[in-house]
Amino acid sequence: MTPVALRLLRAVSTISQQTVKVPVRRSAPILLLGTEVALLVQLPSQRLRALLLAVYIACVTAAFLYFNMRLTIEWVALILFVAALVSGRGLLFVRDWGVFIAVLLAWQLTSGLAARFSFPWHLTELISADKAMFAGSVPPLWLQQHLYHPGKLEPWDVFAATMYMLHFLTPLACGFVLWMTNRDLFRKFALAFILVALAGFATYILYPAVPPWMAAQPLVHFHDQYLLLRDMHLQPGQHVSSHVYLPGVRNLFNVFAANWYNPYHGNIRIGIFKGSYDNVGAIPSEHAAYPMLFFLFLRRQFGRPAYLALVYIAGLLFSITYLGQHYVIDAIVGFAYAFVGYALVMHAYPALHNRVAALLRGDRPAALRARAELEEA
C-alpha cells in the first residue's frame, strides 16, 4: 500500500472515532431525545394558555372601563384569582397572594383615617415646586388650558381617565406576570409594594397635601387646614375669608366619568370592603410610585423589554397631571418612594442579612464584605 493511501486510511479512522457535534435548533423535532419532544409538546400549550390569560384580563378590564366601574383591590384580586384557576394554580395563588391581598385590603379600608389627624396641611409649597421646575407654569393648569374642551370628550380625555382607573390593575397584573415566571421575585415585589404603600400612608398622615383640583376651590385656612367653603355650613349672615390658590383647575376625572359612555357607577366594592379616600393625600403619588416599582422588578426579570413600561409611566404622568389629581412634584416623590422600596428589598436587606449571618457564624472576613455591600446599598 502506498504511503498516500496509508495516510488517507489513518485520517478516515481518526474521524470515525470522533463525535461530530451538529448544531440543532431547540425547535427541531429530535425524536431520540425525550426531553426535547416533551418541550415541543408543552410550548404550544403554554403559549396558548398565556394568550388566553392575556385575552381574559383584557376583556374583563375593557368591560369594567366601558361600564364606568372602578377596579378596586378586591375586584382585581378576584380577576387574578380566576386567571390563576385557568392556569391551574388556584391553590398556589391563595398561598402566595393571600397575605399580600389581605394587607392591601386593610390598607384600602383604613386609608381614610389619615385625614383624621391634625397635622398641618400643605398647599402653596407644592405649587411653588412645580413653578420652579416649569419656569413659572403649573402643569395641571397649563395642560387643562391647552387640552380641555368643556362639553366635549376628546381622545386624550378618554386616555387619561382610562389610565387613572388602571391604578391597581396594572401593578397587580404585572405582579401576576412575575408570579407566573419567578415566584421568588414576586414575593420580593409584594414586600416592596407593601412597604411603599405603608410609607405613603404614613406620609399622608404626617404631610397632608392638597391636590390641584382642591386648590382651585374657595378654601378657608383654619387651624392649619384648608376647608372647602361650600362644606362649612355657615349661618345666615355669617361671612369668612376664603381664597382660591390655583384658579382654573378642575377635577377632570369626575367630569369625564359623568360624561362617559355609561353612567358613573363609582367604586363598586364587594361586601364589607368599603372605605373612604383621603382627599389630602396628594404626595407621594401612588399612581406614579406603583408603576415605577413594577418597572424596576420587570427589568430585573426580563431585562430590556421591560423598558417598554416607561411608555406607560409617561402616559400615566400626563394623565394624573392633566386630570388635576397631582402636581409633577407628587409624581417625582412617588418615583423616589419606589426606588427606595426596591433598594431596601433587593439590596439593603440581603446585605444586612448576609452580615448578620456572617457575624453569627463568626466569619469576620465575610462580615466585613457584607458590611461593605450594605454601605454600597
Report which of residues 43 and 132 the model is more confident about.
Answer: 132
pLDDT, tens digit, 9 for 90 and up, residues 129-146 = 999 999 999 999 999 999
pLDDT, tens digit, 9 for 90 and up, residues 98-125 = 889 988 888 777 766 766 777 888 999 9
Q: Which pairing describes strands 225-228 and 219-222: parallel, antiparallel, or unpaired?
A: antiparallel
Range name among 89-103, 247-261, 265-279 with the lowest pLDDT average: 265-279
Q: How many CB atoms lie within 10 A of CB 99?
A: 11
Closest to 177 (Cα-Cα) out of 163, 168, 189, 194: 189
For residue 360, what is its C-alpha cell?
453569627
> Given its phi and psi angles, is residue 19 left (phi above 0), alpha (psi -120 to 50 degrees) or beta?
beta
Cα 307 to chain centroid, rounded: 14
Cβ–Cβ under 8 Å, residues 262 and 68: yes
Average pLDDT over residues 250-267: 79
Say what the pTM is.
Answer: 0.78
C-alpha–C-alpha distance, residues 2 and 111, integer Å: 95
For residue 16, name the pLDDT band (cuts at 50, 70, 90): very low
First-residue to last-residue Cα distance in the chain: 75
For residue 213, what is its C-alpha cell?
383640583
C-alpha–C-alpha distance, residues 173 and 192, integer Å: 15
- The angle subtended at Cα 179 by Cα 177 and Cα 182, nearest 5°, is 100
For residue 45, what is its C-alpha cell?
400549550
Query: Quick one: pLDDT at residue 269?
Result: 59
Report which of residues 328 and 67 the model is more confident about.
Answer: 328
Closest to 211 (Cα-Cα) out of 151, 134, 261, 141: 141
> Residue 28 pLDDT more than 50?
no
> Residue 12 pLDDT more than 50?
no
- DSSP string computed for 58-94: HHHHHHHHHTT----HHHHHHHHHHHHHHTT-HHHHH
Give the residue extent of every domain in the chain.
47-118+132-207+250-333
C-alpha–C-alpha distance, residues 28 and 40, integer Å: 8
**Residue 22: which residues within 8 A CB-CB, separation 6 or more?**
none
Q: How many CB atoms lie within 10 A of CB 76?
A: 26
C-alpha–C-alpha distance, residues 170 and 164, integer Å: 10
